[in-house]
Structure 1
């Protein structure tokens, strides 16, 4: 019988490097707008060291406060992989600290996305390795297991599958399926071009076209009282 809850799936359908790099320099806000504003995980998980994250998801599901399988995931992940850790949102103890972070950096991984806490934060914030997490806690984790690697995980209201593209900046994290990536890149670039024109009009004193706003106010029968 399968050992449910203590399994490692070793094959990951990673996107092509060119597909991933197509998101470089694109703001998560613009990508999210192209996804009907439904593509981001919630704001409980934030950027911890001002380093943007971009890469394929290498997922890990662990029990609350236990990081045994995270060590194995770092060992088995490939350069560029983003360790996406479903730690059940535990705030009582850290799942990633200096040892794991430096191990991951030595393997040239793409960073950590942790639904839980980190520690050694003063050191981690000075590293080049991108780290997104829910918070910090000096309590260390247990190392007993179980856990699963490369299974679908749920983080911040989003289901993330191995190989999904993870894009994160100061605003938060967007999750993109491989088959939707090229279309989203095209749409996001179109938004960027439109915004350039908008910002130029504002800078040149032409203001902002608020026709849409007045139409909405009229529709709602908004009263202007003097």
Structure 2
């Protein structure tokens, strides 16, 4: 019998570690630009510290204010996995705090993305593990369920499948489908090189700005003296 809403999928397909690592250090903004400005997680989910995030998604859907399935995910996830929690953006109860993060760090997990609230922020903002969340509250969680692990979820307005590649820096988060990753990697590297040239042009007062007037002309801009 299928118990919809209280299920754990134990097997997921993760991209190769080499493919994931190849995105290390690339700006999230440049990656997003090469995805037509799509697949960025909502800006309300912000970094809680300065640790950069990179890894495959290990997804959790929880009832608002409940972290029973997140606790189970802490024990099931593999080193490097990013625990991505769809807590429906609820701010009434935190679903994670210092002890859970310390356990995740000991197990070598890659970080957290929480569409909901967390607590113990004074410690979490100093810890060397990437944590993104929608808010902070001292109110603790319940541990009753239901929820699901490694089902498709919605987090910050983006549908995320287990094994999707998540990349985060201080600008925010972007989600990459593994099948799109190789081509996207090459496009992002090319954009980085182009931006480096633009920075040199700016330094030399040689930045080509003619496109601005061209764009205004194409749109019929009226100049009033």
Report the 3-state secondary structure (helix = DSSP H, G, I; strand = E; otherwise coil) of the residue aligned with 1:162.
Answer: coil
Distance between the aligned counterparts of 1:42 and 1:174, measured in 2? 9
Distance between the aligned counterparts of 1:221 and 1:19, measured in 2? 45
Q: CA deviation at 1:210?
A: 2.0
Alignment partner, residue 106 of structure 2:
106
> Per-residue CA shift, 1:204-223, capped at 9, x if unaligned?
122x2222221111012212
Within 5 A, what are the aligned runs for 1:138-217?
Answer: 138-206=138-206, 208-217=207-216
Over the residues paired in the alignment, what is the CA RMSD in angstroms? 0.8
- Structure 1 length as normaliser, TM-score? 0.98
Alignment partner, residue 36 of structure 2:
36
Q: Structure 2 regions of 5+ residues with no counterpart?
A: none
2:218 pairs with 1:223: no
Q: Structure 1 regions of 5+ residues with no counterpart?
A: none
- Number of equivalent positions: 225
2:77 pairs with 1:73: no
Q: CA deviation at 1:109?
A: 0.4
Report the 3-state secondary structure (helix = DSSP H, G, I; strand = E; otherwise coil) of the residue aligned with 2:59.
Answer: strand
Q: CA deviation at 1:58?
A: 0.2
Structure 1's consecutive aligned runs of 4 or more residues displaced over 3 angstroms after TM superposition are none
Alignment partner, residue 53 of structure 1:
53
Distance between the aligned counterparts of 1:218 and 1:91, measured in 2? 47
Report the 3-state secondary structure (helix = DSSP H, G, I; strand = E; otherwise coil) of the residue aligned with 2:88.
Answer: strand
